[in-house]
Amino acid sequence: MTTSALVRRSCLPTLFAVLALAACATNPATGRRQLSLVSEAQEIQIGQESDPAITAQMGGAYPDSAVQRYVRGIGLRLAASSERPSLPWSVKLLDDDLVNAFALPGGYVYITRGILGHMNSEAELAAVLGHEIGHVTARHSAAQMTRAQLGQLGLGIGMIVSETVRKYGQAVSTGMQLLFLKYGRDDEREADQLGFRYMTNLRYQPRGMTDVMRMLNSTSAADQAGMPAWRSTHPDPGDRVAANEQRIAQANADFSGYALNRDAFLQHLDGMVYGADPRAGYFIGTRFLQPTLRFELTFPAGWVTQNGAQAVQAVSPGKDAALQLSFAQAASAAEALSKFAAAQGVTVSGSSAQALNGLPARRAEFDMQTESGVLHGLMLFVEYGGSVYQVVGYAPTASWSTHAATLGPALASFRGLADARYLDVAPNRIQIVRLPAAMNFGTFLQRYPSSLPADEIRLINQVAASEQLPAGRLLKRVTGGRVPTQ
Ligand SMILES: [Zn+2]
């Protein structure tokens, strides 16, 4: 990957370049006439092309095949009951601790282990998957892209030039841009309605939707690094809980035989990773440690950092400079540097071949012409553990002098990590406990302690602090995490 790929705005416009003809058609799920610049074949193509990047960016598929199969099975049955059963549906559980679920056009549905760990029944899972399937069947993101394209045609591409470095820091791929597209409130209401339809098609207790909406109301809209979570990409269309209760009442149906499947669901969560996984890297203060790849790098103090699946990024407090660590696509540091130097718009000055902390390295200072003006920066390529790493620090030329003295030492802090204390880490995992006797929640917390605050355990179990719980009830505790703090 070259720096230009990392820092330039990505290629959403090119995605639309292929779309030329507008069509108006009746949507099979909603019965509404929709103007669409995106045909079904194009929807499928967009989903297919974005799926690998989205999956990689969001932590990859969760490696436990049993829980993966379980989630996919339910998602595929819901999709088969929808108005567009013949789309090439794909339902994936992602190894990401954010509370989120989303869909791409063409039938690509994603759910994170973060949201799954917060659910308490199969009916809740069916409600969220059904909602996402609803966004696909109603063609909400295809319609959004049509709107985005219409907007772009009006504004012209020139508007992009004036964007600030804040945008470079995000370095989002096409797929990620699709995720940042927010649905409208009407779309949310419609997806809830369709999700309700699909889950009740499969005889899931519609109360599961109320339960999961309540849970989602108590989670935050985004993580600290500003990644979108459920509540930021799915705005609340009003009181969702009340709307669902009304839907249940108006359905005028007897749902008493419908399933919540609480215990079966919870048993599938036993052993699942919960929260951030330190094996993917963790911070001790400003020090980033990667125990699997065995390296460390110290970021500038006060910068906002984000450990993504493909890169670790940091942005200065004033959002006018960025630092990014990622893999370079080259066999050696020398090859990586010559590829970088040959990239369009890049001018390299003052390169050096001096080793860094005993590792073969190449360093260079550079200027880069981008759509948003000239950037100045420092580039480091370093060979370690059979890979070539790329660490780049950059800022618009005007603010470079403010950051030069901070970025130099940050790049030079890349080194191997061998101390067993930092390598021997483990994530927290959910353990399902069957209560041997009736007890209140406080007693449960004492008898089955977790390595997380009581409030978080209460939240993921969706019980009240003083609730009396019957014998035989399944509850989640979270244990087993091991991460050094200094
Ligand atoms: Zn939604």
Say how many Å lie between the CA of residue 164 and the centre of ligand 1: 29
Say how many Å lie between the CA of residue 232 and the centre of ligand 1: 10
- List, as one string, the DSSP characters of 361-430: EEEEEEEEEETTEEEEEEEEEEEETTEEEEEEEEEEGGGHHHHHHHHHHHHHT-EE---HHHH--B-EEE
Say how many Å lie between the CA of residue 32 and the centre of ligand 1: 18
Say how many Å lie between the CA of residue 125 and the centre of ligand 1: 14
Predicted local distance difference test score (pLDDT) of residue 17: 32
Say how many Å lie between the CA of residue 130 and the centre of ligand 1: 10
Say how many Å lie between the CA of residue 56 and the centre of ligand 1: 22
Say how many Å lie between the CA of residue 110 and the centre of ligand 1: 12
Residues forming beta bridges with residue 90, ordered by sequence position: 108
- Backbone dihedral region for residue 65 (phi beyond 0: left; psi -120 to 50: alpha; all else: beta): alpha
Say how many Å lie between the CA of residue 105 and the centre of ligand 1: 13
Half-sphere exposure of 130 (CA within 13 A, CB side): 30
Say how many Å lie between the CA of residue 134 and the centre of ligand 1: 8
Say how many Å lie between the CA of residue 250 and the centre of ligand 1: 22
Say how many Å lie between the CA of residue 236 and the centre of ligand 1: 9
Is 430:268 a contact under the CB 8 Å cutoff?
no
Predicted local distance difference test score (pLDDT) of residue 185: 86
Predicted local distance difference test score (pLDDT) of residue 296: 96
Please choose, from the candidates 370, 303, 367, 297, the residue with its C-alpha nearest in 3D space to the C-alpha of residue 5. 370
End-to-end CA distance of the chain: 33
CA distance 394 to 348: 13
Per residue in 359-394, is it b (16+ CB within 10 Å) or e — as a string?
Answer: bbbbbbbbbbebebeebbbbbbbbbbeeebbbbbbb
DSSP H stretches of helix in 108-184: 113-116, 122-137, 140-155, 165-170, 174-180
User: Looking at residue 95, what DSSP letter applies?
Assistant: S
Say how many Å lie between the CA of residue 337 and the centre of ligand 1: 43
Say how many Å lie between the CA of residue 188 and the centre of ligand 1: 5
Say how many Å lie between the CA of residue 166 and the centre of ligand 1: 26
The residue type of 397 is: T
Say how many Å lie between the CA of residue 211 and the centre of ligand 1: 16
Say how many Å lie between the CA of residue 183 and the centre of ligand 1: 7
Helix (H) or strand (E) holding 75: helix 65-80
DSSP H stretches of helix in 283-374: 333-342
Say how many Å lie between the CA of residue 153 and the centre of ligand 1: 26
Block means of pLDDT (10 residues each) for the chain, 486 residues, are 28 32 67 73 85 80 94 98 97 92 91 96 98 93 57 26 27 44 83 97 97 85 56 77 94 94 98 93 92 94 80 84 86 94 88 96 91 86 94 90 94 96 97 98 96 93 92 98 93
Tell me how far the alpha carbon of residue 436 is from its chain's centroid. 38
Say how many Å lie between the CA of residue 55 and the centre of ligand 1: 19
For the chain, domains (ranges, CATH) are 3-274 (no CATH), 278-417 (3.40.1000.10), 433-479 (no CATH)
- pTM equals 0.82
Predicted local distance difference test score (pLDDT) of residue 91: 98
